[in-house]
A and B are shown apart, each in its own frame.
Chain A
């Protein structure tokens, strides 16, 4: 197997606060191969965004505390880098696309200038050349009249346009890894499709690895090669996308898939996973999912299962995974 592009081992993030400690991320491993698109799936509050920020080392120490065993990008150790050294990595080798394009852009700077910044920071381009690159980057993501649009302010653009700007921003220096945090959540469905197309083609055409963070399974099915399912700070299942969708092993994954309404179904009631995600400061004992799990029995409430490897490189963290019989 080729060397992974991104390797994260045993990432833990906690937020101490007045009432206790928020356990945001509890020891997760993540691997992204070159040109691969990995999806990190989970409901809000499960720690996905925190994971993304941790990988970019954007979390500040107050209010967070983190530990990690290994953080490598294309073989280069990032964990030991100082903030100043990380500044050279961010934007150039590793970039991020944020969820809400309206708040993610500086309201008093034109979008062109905000993209120019990236070029001028990481390359030796002159102001004129940087602007040329900016315009071509905008054209690449499908912004019409790119050269005049570049002089617009974020609030003058539509939601979809802004998201494309974010994408252009991230891909500016052709980084090795793109982390996309819910890139389409705040968009209309039709725009979503367009933006995802752009993302996909950028990723494929330029061999860029992607870590896609989302709670929307339809996005996952169209974009990802491998899927990591996250619940309450822990990875509960990993699999190749087809295998995950056809044969989920973790009850939570199954619940997620079942709760997506399908047009083909006869008129049935919405399927829901009962109850809600656990509060990050008061997690259940044993397996975090057991209070909502229909398959819960001994030893689910007592002990947290380990992440066990299955066939085809799959993993699952469950005492009673689905389709267990078939494996035997």
Chain B
């Protein structure tokens, strides 16, 4: 059961956030992801400093519908004359804040539920899994629309729904892992020594799942950022906030398509792309780091392109018995004339 061994391997690595970051940095793709995320966080934090204009300040509006120029690198909006470049920078705040904060909350909630369901089992497990089943059939987008109608349009409602519904994915994965960990020796030893359930859960099981949690959370953040963009696009977020999704809605409604202001659409889209992509990159690299077998390893294939390279021949020659007259026949190649196929 290779799935089981994968889980065990994931669980058994020592956990340390710093060592994880270090490992990511060493991986070339991981490095790119880390740099991008760092860059985005900086932009979001330093937005007031970096943006040439304050898009919230009504007095800083310029002429409407300006094309990109030196003063306004991305022009101004057709509807309000706000500087698009500044809006782009400020927009990062909403995406990152919602993405990261929701992701973190979901990490806790999902892990908690998963560990409880997996470790305590029985009634608790049943209950949690049934709740998961119900939550899964309720369509989230319509529900958010309904709730924003009843409770007002705000990011609070959006985050609430994300949190209420989003923990199910992580909970399931963690639960599977916990079911495996439950039977491992060090857990059984702790139980026999009389440790309380809570102790075992927090000190033994939870650390074993930490890597899975972190990896899943990164990907969850990415997913949330996409979802938030969609919701903002529909106008369900805080009407006063500036977010990339909302910019896209304004662009379409404001006639960007009609007047050919494609940069107004491209900019927030690029922002969304960059944010989501960088988080996903980190998540994928993490998966490779924890689970090397999953790699779409082109390197092995490249190795084989040079089938008759000298190193391999050396190896084969070294397998011969010494002082043996070389075979007079040409050695046949078992693999010479086969058709290629899935390995």
Do A and B touch directly, given a CB cutoff of 8 Å in the complex? yes
Which residues of A come within 8 Å of B, CB atoms?
9-10, 12, 14, 16-18, 21, 23, 26-27, 54, 57, 59-71, 79-84, 233, 303-304, 306-307
Whether A83 and B339, one on each chain, are in contact in the complex, defined by CB atoms closer than 8 angstroms, is yes
Shortest C-beta distance, A3 to chain B (Å), equals 18
Q: Chain B contacts of A65 at CB under 8 A?
A: 304, 307, 312, 335
Could you tell me if B335 and A66 are in contact, using CB atoms closer than 8 angstroms?
yes
Asked if B316 and A17 make an inter-chain contact with CB atoms under 8 angstroms apart, the answer reads: no
> Is the C-beta of B123 less than 8 angstroms from some C-beta in chain A?
no
Residues of B297-343 at the interface with A, using a CB-CB cut-off of 8 Å, are 299-301, 303-304, 307, 311-312, 315-316, 319-324, 327, 329, 331-341, 343
Interface size on B, residues (CB 8 A): 30
Instruction: Give me 16 other A-B pairs in contact (C-beta within 8 A), A27-B319, A64-B335, A79-B334 excluded.
Output: A9-B327, A12-B316, A17-B300, A21-B311, A27-B320, A61-B338, A62-B343, A65-B307, A65-B335, A67-B316, A67-B331, A67-B333, A68-B334, A70-B332, A82-B338, A303-B322
User: Could you write out 17 A-B pairs with CB less than 8 Å apart?
Assistant: A14-B312, A18-B299, A18-B300, A27-B319, A59-B334, A61-B307, A61-B335, A62-B343, A63-B304, A65-B335, A68-B334, A69-B327, A80-B332, A82-B339, A83-B337, A304-B321, A306-B321
Closest residue of chain B to A14 (Cβ to Cβ) is B315
A62-B300, A84-B339 known; A68 and B322 CB under 8 Å? no
Contacting pair A60 B343 (CB below 8 A): yes
Contact residues of B between 216 and 255, Cβ < 8 Å to A: none
How long is the Cα–Cα vector from A63 to B312 in the complex, in angstroms?
13
With both beta carbons as reference points, the residue of chain A lying nearest to B321 in the complex is identified as A306
B69 to chain A, nearest CB (A): 53
Chain B contact surface mostly:
loop
Rounded to whole Å, the gap between the CB of B343 and the closest CB of chain A is 5
Bound-state Cα–Cα, A63 to B319, Å = 19
B263-306 vs A, Cβ < 8 Å mask (1 yes, 0 no): 00000000000000000000000000000000000011101100
From A67, A71, A233, residue with most partner B Cβ within 10 Å: A67
Contact residues in A for B319 (Cβ distance below 8 Å): 12, 23, 26-27, 233
Distance in Å: Cβ of B77 to nearest Cβ of chain A:
53
Contact between A60 and B341, CB atoms less than 8 A apart: yes
Whether the Cβ atoms of B304 and A16 lie closer than 8 Å is: yes
Minimum CB–CB distance for A181 against chain B, Å: 18
Shortest CB-to-CB span from A76 to chain B, Å, is 14
A68/B332 in contact, CB under 8 A: yes
B312: nearest residue on chain A (CB-CB)?
A65
Q: Bound state CA distance, A21 and B319, in angstroms? A: 12
Binary flags per residue of B1-14, CB closer than 8 Å to A gives 1, else 0: 00000000000000
From the candidates A14, A27, A82, name the one contacting B321 in the complex (CB within 8 A): A27
Interface contact A63-B320, CB-CB below 8 Å: no
Interface 0/1 of B175-213, CB less than 8 Å to A: 000000000000000000000000000000000000000
B315/A23 in contact, CB under 8 A? yes
Residue of A nearest to B332 (CB): A79
Distance between Cα atoms of A237 and B146 in the complex (Å): 79
Residue of A nearest to B329 (CB): A69
Name the residue among B303, B307, B340 with the largest chain A CB count within 10 angstroms.
Answer: B303
Given the complex of chains A and B, what is the CA–CA distance between A101 and B341 in angstroms?
A: 25
Given the complex, which residues of B lie within 8 Å of A84, measured CB to CB?
339
Closest B residue, CB atoms, query A26? B319
* CB-based closest 3 A-B pairs: A79-B332, A26-B319, A83-B338
Q: Are B312 and A306 in contact (CB under 8 A)?
A: no
B298 CB to nearest chain A CB (Å): 11
Query: In the bound complex, how far is the Cα of B341 from the Cα of A61, in angstroms?
Result: 9
Contact residues in A for B343 (Cβ distance below 8 Å): 60, 62-63
Contact of B304 among A18, A62, A67, A82 (CB under 8 A): A62
Closest to B305 in A: A62
In the complex the two chains form, is B322's CB within 8 Å of A304's CB? yes
Give the chain B neighbours of A16 by CB distance below 8 A: 300, 303-304, 312
Report whether A57 and B322 are in contact in the complex, using a CB–CB cutoff of 8 Å.
no
Residues of B within 8 A of A23 (CB): 315, 319
- B321 near A62 (CB under 8 angstroms)? no
CA distance A70 to B327 in the complex (A): 11
| Of B315, B339, B340, most A-chain CB atoms within 10 Å | B315
Complex: chain B residue closest to A83, CB-CB: B338
Q: How far, in Å, is A277 (CB) from chain B's closest CB?
A: 17
A306-B323 in contact (CB<8A) = yes
Contacts of B335 in A (CB 8 A): 59, 61, 64-66
Q: Which residues in A have their C-beta under 8 angstroms from that of B327?
A: 9-10, 69
Please measure, in the bound complex, the distance between the C-alpha atom of A57 and the C-alpha atom of B337, giving whole angstroms.
11
A63 touches B300 (CB 8 A): yes
* Across-interface contacts of A303 in B (CB, < 8 A): 322
- Distance to closest chain A CB from B45 (angstroms): 40
Contact in complex: B338, A14 (CB < 8 Å): no
Among residues of A, the one whose C-beta sits closest to the C-beta of B340 is A61
Tell me the complex Cα distance, A41–B303, Å.
Answer: 32
Residue of B nearest to A60 (CB): B343
Q: Mark interface residues in B118-143 (1 if CB within 8 Å of A CB, else 0).
A: 00000000000000000000000000
Q: What residues of chain A lie closer than 8 Å to B323, measured between beta carbons?
A: 306
A21 to B304, CA, bound (A): 12
Query: Which of B332, B333, B340, B341 counts the most chain A CB atoms within 10 A?
Result: B332
Chain A residues with Cβ under 8 A from B329's Cβ? 69-70
A152 to B312, CA, bound (A): 47
Contacts of B340 in A (CB 8 A): 61
CB distance from A248 to the nearest CB of B (A): 21
**Which A residues lie within 8 Å of B341 (CB)?**
60
Nearest chain B CB to A90's CB is how many angstroms away? 13
Q: Is the CB of B301 within 8 A of A62?
A: yes
Cα A59 to Cα B304 with chains together (Å): 14
Q: Considering only CB atoms, which chain B residue lies closest to A233 in the complex?
A: B319
Inter-chain contacts of B333 with A (CB < 8 A): 66-68, 79
A66 to B308, CA, bound (A): 11
A68 to B330, CA, bound (A): 10
CB contacts (< 8 Å) of B331 on chain A: these are 10, 67-69
